[in-house]
Amino acid sequence: MSLVGMLLNHQELSEFEYVLKKEMEELRVDLEDNKIDAIVKTVLEERYQIIYRLFCRFAKPSDCRRYLRRKQRN
């Protein structure tokens, strides 16, 4: 495991949060699409969780709760 540090000003942080939110929204839409295969959805869910954990390092707790996914049974 390697660690990477970033220094961001307020504007860059806001832009970074925006990009992460947009990516999570797109993944949510894909995860709800019935035409997408279950194997692909598994990969999308893993990607969503990685992006979500990254997002939570910067975002307010209320924003984190908004993007929290609940386990879905298929």
| Greatest extent of the chain over all pairs of C-alpha atoms, in Å | 42
**pLDDT reported for residue 22:** 98
14 vs 4, 29, 65, CA distance in Å?
19, 23, 18
pLDDT score, position 2:
87
Q: What is the pTM of this model?
A: 0.85
pLDDT, tens digit, for every residue of 11-57? 999 999 999 999 999 999 999 999 999 999 999 999 999 999 999 99
48 or 71, greater pLDDT: 48
Contact criterion met (CB below 8 Å) for 51 and 20 = yes
Alpha-carbon distance of 50 to 59, in angstroms, equals 14
